Structure 1
């Protein structure tokens, strides 16, 4: 397992995105807990959640509570696990997502998340998405207040452009430690944000890091085929999943990159975690770098 840093905290280079354990099509609790435990067994020390990761109305915090229960039931040491959560979005239960970035809401949400996670202070609290109805400085200012109050130990921002990163950095200083934007082999619109995060020493946690990579692209009537992109072909040559190749490639994009692939089965996160030990050759990287985004 490789390790990287988020602020002053060392974490595994590949984390666990816990959202699939609580949203539509989620597994039962036994399998969900087994998935978290499999991640820990594989050396994963970063778990990404949010108060809005749930399915039905009235379930706010479902994923946070699930992660807390899974950690409490784990037989090993979890003191080195960083749980990152997010606030500022909601799910009414009809499949839609809302955004609320008022300082009052964010401070209430953070305190509720802290209680659900059962911690004295949240290790990493991320503003889930800018609210167009609220000045960005006001929303980020709430994170500053949460840091000063000791409710959270570090702050992050998500779904942001470079201007918002710079403004948040000016307000939060060393308290800002991460940026979480969409980034994958198929979606690379956040290249400027990745470069700026690297420059400022902020961890970059790509959400949906496996976008454009489907395991079925390797499945033919006689087993693995050469169909799909270079990611699938390199995977077939290596005898590993295309997901592993995609994650290993992401890790080469920047030392700030820490992908958090989602998983709803133990085997999935175990496979993803192995990407942190997979070294790609210069020739393989050249082939993968040449694949255009979708």
Structure 2
């Protein structure tokens, strides 16, 4: 598996990560199946797993995905010492909806709950503030993360759904190693709002969520003539073409496609070996413009 460096940390992570969200939302697969998916990912060389305390069905089910990932790592018969688990806090799931909560008191407790959900025996590898809350300043919301780093509950801190200005403010509070914003051929804001360029120049890892567009874009992806043609020419899947498109956009990008089936993570990992030229990247750009 090709590897990348996590921010400026010196920590090595796989060039493709595993997104845990599909394993824990409503309609999720059986636990045994998801543990098999995680184990298969590890066997294929995946060393970055992305999760969040809000990857669950509702508030009564909070931390489901974190606990699931910890259980899978505990049951794996191989070496997991190099695995980086990146979680997030700051979203609530009342009745299954998604709401922001940047209250420092809530985040202080959320960090401790995630620490326990992930085993409670070592610092959280990466804790990311899930989304800014307009009711609180960036400085207020990230103060608990800084305290948790000093207490040894968190090793590294990242942010999610942040603008360049917000990232800069976050960096004034605590060292930031990663940024997780939505990015795919149909949602290219990071190219236009300066976030991707900022991450590259500052040495931050950019983790694109919904890297292949999410369920809302599945039909568009399957019907896209440019992507389909490239997939046919290279004898790979359409999903691998999109992951290759992301990776050629910037060396700081590490896609984290979700998976709830072994075939899905196998397909994503195989995408590491798919390369697009600059011309082919531009073809996808033009063929997915909206």
Q: What range is the shorter-chain TM-score in? A: over 0.9
RMSD between aligned residues: 1.6
The alpha-carbon deviation at position 215 of structure 1 amounts to 7.6
SS, match of residue 256 in structure 1: coil
CA contact (8 A) 2:37 2:262 kept: yes
SS, match of residue 27 in structure 1: coil
Do residues 187 (structure 1) and 187 (structure 2) align?
yes
Residue of structure 2 equivalent to 1:76: 78
CA distance in 2, matches of 1:80, 1:180: 21
SS, match of residue 154 in structure 1: strand
- Higher helix residue share: 2
The alpha-carbon deviation at position 160 of structure 1 amounts to 0.8
Residue of structure 2 equivalent to 1:103: 104
Deviations 1:92-149 (A, max 9, x none): 1x23112111222111111111111113200000000111111111112222111111
Match of 1:267 among 254, 259, 263: 263
Deviations 1:203-260 (A, max 9, x none): 0001101017638965xxxxxxxx5241221012211111101101101111110110
Deviations 1:155-207 (A, max 9, x none): 000011111011111222xx210000000011001221111111111100011
CA distance in 1, matches of 2:225, 2:187: 14
The alpha-carbon deviation at position 280 of structure 1 amounts to 2.0
Deviations 1:270-289 (A, max 9, x none): 10011112222344233223
CA distance in 2, matches of 1:216, 1:153: 39
CA contact (8 A) 1:187 1:293 kept: no
CA contact (8 A) 1:12 1:43 kept: yes
The alpha-carbon deviation at position 25 of structure 1 amounts to 1.6
Match of 1:128 among 127, 130, 146: 130
Equivalent runs, 1:189-204 vs 2, <5 Å: 189-191=189-191, 192-204=194-206
CA contact (8 A) 2:104 2:143 kept: yes
Structure 1 length-normalised TM = 0.92
SS, match of residue 190 in structure 1: helix
Contiguous gaps of at least 5 residues in structure 2 = none
CA distance in 2, matches of 1:241, 1:28: 26
Structure 2 length-normalised TM = 0.93
CA contact (8 A) 1:125 1:155 kept: yes
Residue of structure 2 equivalent to 1:235: 231
Residue of structure 2 equivalent to 1:38: 40
Q: 1:238 to 1:168 in 2, by over 3 A?
A: same
CA contact (8 A) 1:156 1:177 kept: yes
Residue of structure 2 equivalent to 1:249: 245
Match of 2:153 among 151, 154, 160: 151
SS, match of residue 267 in structure 2: helix
Equivalent runs, 1:203-222 vs 2, <5 Å: 203-211=205-213, 214=218
SS, match of residue 209 in structure 2: coil
